[in-house]
Amino acid sequence: MMVQHSVSSQRTNPWLVIPAPRPTARLRLICFHYAGGGAHAYRTWDKHLPPGIEVVAVQFPGRGVRLTEEPLTNIDALLPALMEGLTPALTKPYAFFGHSMGALIAFEVTRSLRRQKKSLPVHLFVSGRGGPRERDWDVKFSELPEAELVAELERYGGAPKEVLENTELIRLMLPTIRADFKLCETYSYVPEEPLDCPISACGGLEDFEVKQERLDTWRDETSAAFKLRMFPGGHFYLQKSEPSILQTILRDLQSFL
């Protein structure tokens, strides 16, 4: 008889948000959000997935119920606390999905797990970001004046227009957004052996920044299977193609259900 393990609630573990708890699920899909985002980015994903998969969204400091916490600007400072916070979610087979900044963090968490000789995700899904050996942006978004940064956010389509036009709200959000960009800008790739878990890279066909050739560089990070898939939409293609990307994820995970 299989013993089912539960994940700590957000009251005791602020790192993990579970939109629809499924204690009997066979596999967890652990999702890492993009710069300036939060766990809410994955709040509807469970509606497109079968009962055998439980969606667990990671919530970083500085947003959601953690709004009063100081956001972290360096991935080396983030990882130790994040690894501890993730532990309750790793008690059954799991996969990682990360979009943009989240792809980078999911990758580095996987490498940290390997260094600690712990079980790795059965699959790593990376989205909206080129491979970790290349720089994410040439511009230092974290240092842009407010008006220029808001204009860039609008260009990428990462926030609704009504949010970007709400001066009070955007000024509340900007310190966390800048911190997230700083984390990406200060990241430095350290060479290691390729992972032995499969990697699927995903992106938007109209993403002017992360084109297919940049996504393809993720193949260098695995000695297992690699797949590259493109979907309609720009950098935040997930908003337009949510059912399609989730059906793709489901096909890749079917053998574990």
Rounded to whole angstroms, the Cα distance separating 193 from 232 reads 33
Tell me the CA distances in angstroms from 185 to 22, 135, 168, 176, 189, one per residue in order: 36, 8, 26, 14, 11
Rounded to whole angstroms, the Cα distance separating 4 from 12 reads 19
Over the range 186-215, which residues count as b (16 or more CB within 10 Å of their CB) and which as e? ebeeeeeeebebbbbbbbbeebebbeeebb
Per-state percent for the chain, helix, strand, coil, to nearest 5: 40, 15, 45
DSSP conformation class of 195 = B
Which positions are catalytic? 100
Task: Tell me which residue of 234, 156, 245, 137 sits closest to 200, measured CA to CA.
Answer: 245
Task: Tell me which residue of 233, 27, 26 sits closest to 127, measured CA to CA.
Answer: 233
Q: Which two tokens stand for residue 159?
A: 């926030």
